[in-house]
Structure 1
């Protein structure tokens, strides 16, 4: 674990102790994410869910990129928390995360991105490995996230069986809980996830790390159907979707289409290691987002 990440975590841990003089109640607020998914479904359209890491390439560039996503057709934004050991992420997102960490970004700053997405009209989710939330303080994170206008949290390495503290905090603050399933998930596992999820269930189109792919197999469609049969109200598909054609195909059966690496790639040069100048990067991001949005939103029409 590098020194940058140690600083990222320790600064959160130093002030993570939250105490209450009396128990807090639970909110009855509806799910922001499910509400947006249903609004789109009522118009026979899947949602376009776009991912970018917070703080990449730097804070200000990052905030402009999130705003660009919403302005050009992303309905729900996954704001990634940079992590030094992103085991589920492919090389593009790993490179972006390390750039953000090298720039000294901290977890508390992500709430600026949440506010940016909310003000632009998008639904802001945070995608994070659980250790970052745990070190920040689960209760404190839920409170700060809710106050910033956040909708929910995607936890790729947290299963419902081990999520008791997060489930309680999310219920208290009205935040969505997005857990992952894969083509290898058993019927029992699908039922556990569906019963504990709030907002939607994230269906990983295949086993392995994130990244752009030339083809999408038929297994995600079967996984979506199995997850719905297990009780999930909304199922969105990600990992590997990178072109308008793939987005349209997945959007024909899923409630939402999740795109990550293809968007991150727009801010990097051909080597995948260096950041494009801001004007060029944002222009490329806007065009790619527009093309994907048009295909995804029109998938059923």
Structure 2
């Protein structure tokens, strides 16, 4: 059965444009603000929302997202509260796809079977778990697919022809292409290399390809949107939120709009580029 993610990418393909995929950290800087922010994202132009699951050792993330995770943990955010956040969002939005993104440890501690049941009940559509390779698909990927959740895999500039089929084997929803080698928010992608990489992935998989890491503005988003089915922006949004906080790291009246305004700007950039 198609998920919200599948349907959203199908709808956008008919429109002839790429998706804007936005990342925010659950509970940053607190859960009430986080819920307000989630509700504001679709109105600002987000087509898919990735919700970070706070973790103490986020090895793939740069300083901005690491700091967001620490703020969320300091505010008392847990995996259970993250799932409740999604359920609260679903009370007023049944259409926008939600992807939980993070690391396996919190899920393992929570219990895989319990987690998948609760995630499905809350209205989660897909998972990105960055530290589970294809060799560990039996841990979470296959159970997630059986539960009706998309399992979205990352491909990187170092994923060669020998490795790519294994990475794509059980991937569903979309392929997340990491456009740079390194941590989130670290550098700007090389457009010519990104375009070639997306075409290479498409030779192996019919799934949509979304490009992430290094997207900071409407201009950079538009450039990438011309070569892919989706553009992912995360660190720039997390940093916009951080910049809106008061000296004690608490939300201000400007916090939600600081992020929503940037999303609206980037959404305009994405919509200006027709998918090739």
TM over 0.5: yes
- Give how far 1:213 is off: 4.0
- Give how far 1:278 is off: 2.8
Q: Is the 8 A contact 2:45 2:263 kept in 1?
A: yes
Residue 207 of structure 2: aligned partner: 233
- After superposing on structure 2, the runs of 4+ consecutive aligned residues of structure 1 that deviate more than 6 Å are 270-273
Residue 250 of structure 1: aligned partner: 224
Higher-Rg member (1/2): 1
Residue 170 of structure 2: aligned partner: 196
Residue 60 of structure 2: aligned partner: 88
Q: Aligned in 2, Cα 1:274/1:185: closer, same or farther, shift over 3 Å?
A: farther
For structure 2, the residue ranges without an aligned partner over 5 or more in a row are none
For structure 1, the residue ranges without an aligned partner over 5 or more in a row are 1-28
Q: Aligned in 2, Cα 1:150/1:294: closer, same or farther, shift over 3 Å?
A: same
Q: Aligned in 2, Cα 1:202/1:173: closer, same or farther, shift over 3 Å?
A: same
What is the RMSD computed on CA atoms of the aligned residues? 2.0
Stretch deviating more after TM superposition (72-81 or 221-230): 221-230
Q: Aligned in 2, Cα 1:189/1:210: closer, same or farther, shift over 3 Å?
A: same
SS at match of 1:241: coil
Q: Is the 8 A contact 1:66 1:113 kept in 2?
A: no
Q: Is the 8 A contact 1:114 1:150 kept in 2?
A: yes
Q: Aligned in 2, Cα 1:270/1:91: closer, same or farther, shift over 3 Å?
A: farther
Q: Is the 8 A contact 2:4 2:125 kept in 1?
A: yes
**1:295 correspondence with 2:266:** no
TM-score, scaled to structure 1: 0.85
Residue 42 of structure 2: aligned partner: 70
Residue 5 of structure 2: aligned partner: 33
Q: Aligned in 2, Cα 1:285/1:100: closer, same or farther, shift over 3 Å?
A: same
Residues paired across the two proteins, number = 273
